[in-house]
Amino acid sequence: MRQVFIKNFYLLRRYHLLYKIVYIIERFNLYKAFSVKIERIIMRIKLGAAIYPEHYCFETINDYIVKLKENGVRRIFISLLQIDLNDLKLLEQYKKVIELIHSLDLKVIADINPEIIDRMNWRKDLPKNIFEFGIDILRIDTAIEIQDIIRFTNSKYNLKIEINLSTNKDLLDQLLSNGVNPKDITASHNFYPKRYTGLSLDHFMNMTQYFKSKGIETSAFINAQSANEGPWPLSEGLCTLEMGRNQSIDEQLKFFQATGLIDYIVIANQFISINELNIISETLNDDLTLKYHTNITLSKVEQDIINLSHTYRGDISDYVIRSSEPRIKFKENSILPRKQKYTAEKGDILIDNDNYPRYKGELSIALKKFDIDDRTNVVGHLVPEHHYLLDYIQPWEKFKFQKDN
């Protein structure tokens, strides 16, 4: 009984402290400072890109990699699975490309399997051979022996191993139970060239949440609509999630932004256009953007509130995503009640009005259907294709709205 009392006592103290922090933030208008602190903690998604240089001259690949670097790419993914390892000239070309990548201060991820290790005569001293070939992160498409991986991560060459994030959790558990440092492991989802074979949303979430819970850096692939070249002679798109196969590049990114589960996004197909690269840069360097429409004429205050950059409060509700900073910013402004429906539907954008003095100006997004009253105005609605993002957006995440044309 004493242990139960002590546990509950400390639990109550923890919640009491949380409410005191929330009160202080509201009382002294510290939302901005608090949001800045959170923003510094949350790292934005970083960018990688795949190249397949075997069918192109060095100059063409050189120009493309330079363009990728100029547009924020930090890692280059190469695959050795599809090339002829007996072609010494091609292997020399790959080494030359890798030297170029390193000269631009980019990292190299190489996808290999045990057969390639044997055919390249790398097995005797795998870390040294991988290092000399110029690979920084070794992605093992098919798992090599556990002891080989442990020796690899413990070598003096400061190399990382990348394991498959799409298939099973057993290899990760074995590595961690054998003392491998999570910082020496990265995990990447597959990409799927064949239509209808990409990952389901549920499987993606289940696997990625598990790996993130173990402190593992994660990555996933996106499909550029302006490019169609991959490692295999098939052009049905290259993506991790099947739902992303036909989505625009910014819509694919918005999902990964919302989940907060992916550290690196890799452009899977080669020769993406500069226009799509610009879209990627704008999306990754901005808050999560939710499109909305409205059928009413908004007051200036309502529109100004919608136009703000918002922060999803950390005390989670089943019914709404809350943004409380507007009620501080607009506390001196009047927000008149509207004659409207008194039921909120999923995706509705809500603003509390003059009839709700303490909460006036607070913006919410409805997560499900529930009743409201004359203290809350329905000012807009998310476009249907963005409803699913509400299920994945994370507390303390920054978001903003964009009116749908």
Whichever domain contains 224, its CATH number is 3.20.20.70
Range 379-387 average pLDDT: 97
pLDDT of residue 381 exceeding 90, the answer is: yes
Range 232-236 average pLDDT: 83
Range 15-40 average pLDDT: 45
pLDDT at 43: 59
Range 295-302 average pLDDT: 97
pLDDT of residue 402 exceeding 50, the answer is: yes
Kindly report which listed range (36-50, 293-307, 376-390) carries the lowest average pLDDT score.
36-50
Q: Above pLDDT 70, what percent of the chain?
A: 89
pLDDT of residue 355 exceeding 70, the answer is: yes
pLDDT of residue 222 exceeding 60, the answer is: yes
Range 126-139 average pLDDT: 96
Range of the domain at 328: 291-403
> Which CATH number does the domain housing residue 296 bear?
2.40.100.10
260, 394 Cβ separation under 8 angstroms: yes
Q: Which of 256, 286, 316 is the last residue of a domain?
A: 286
pLDDT at 18: 45
Closest Cα to residue 266, out of 251, 252, 247? 252
Same domain, 56 and 25: no
Please name every residue paired with 364 in a beta bridge, in sequence order, or none if there are none. Answer: 322, 350
Same domain, 121 and 249: yes
Range 163-188 average pLDDT: 95
How far apart, in whole angstroms, are the C-alpha atoms of residue 393 and residue 396? Answer: 9
131, 159 Cβ separation under 8 angstroms: yes
pLDDT of residue 39 exceeding 50, the answer is: no
Same domain, 261 and 349: no
Q: Above pLDDT 90, what percent of the chain?
A: 80
Same domain, 124 and 109: yes
Q: Please tell me the number of Cα atoms within 13 Å of 6 on its side-chain side.
A: 3
pLDDT at 284: 94
pLDDT at 306: 98
For 231-236, which contacts have Cβ atoms below 8 Å and span 24 or more sequence positions?
231/52, 231/79, 231/81, 231/82, 232/82, 232/193, 234/193, 234/194, 236/193, 236/194, 236/195
Same domain, 148 and 241: yes
**Helix, strand, coil percentages for the chain (3-state, nearest 5):** 40, 20, 40
How many domains does the chain fold into?
Answer: 3
Same domain, 279 and 386: no
pLDDT at 15: 39
Write down the mean pLDDT value for the chain.
90
pLDDT of residue 1 exceeding 70, the answer is: no
pLDDT at 251: 97
Same domain, 124 and 201: yes
Q: Which of 286, 305, 325 is the last residue of a domain?
A: 286
H or E segment to which residue 373 belongs:
none
Give Cα 57 to chain centroid, integer Å: 33
H or E segment to which residue 238 belongs:
none
Range 247-271 average pLDDT: 96
Exposed / middle / buried, residue 367 (Cβ in 10 Å: 0-12, 13-18, 19+): buried
Query: How many residues appear in the chain?
Result: 405
Range 386-399 average pLDDT: 95
As given in the structure block, the two tokens for residue 157 are 């060459």
How far apart, in whole angstroms, are the C-alpha atoms of residue 283 and residue 298? Answer: 27
Alpha-carbon distance values, 18 to 27, 41, 130, 342 (Å): 14, 19, 49, 32
Same domain, 54 and 203: yes
pLDDT at 61: 97
Range 67-74 average pLDDT: 97
- Kindly report the number of other CB atoms within 10 A of residue 94's CB atom: 19
Amino acid at 319: Y
pLDDT category of residue 296 using cuts at 50, 70 and 90: very high
3-state secondary structure of 390: helix
pLDDT of residue 115 exceeding 80, the answer is: yes
pLDDT at 29: 52
Same domain, 83 and 182: yes
Q: Which of 239, 269, 286 is the last residue of a domain?
A: 286
First to last CA, the chain: 62
3-state secondary structure of 403: strand
Same domain, 232 and 363: no
Output the pTM of the full model.
0.85
pLDDT at 232: 84
Range 342-366 average pLDDT: 97
Same domain, 262 and 329: no
Same domain, 278 and 354: no
192, 234 Cβ separation under 8 angstroms: no
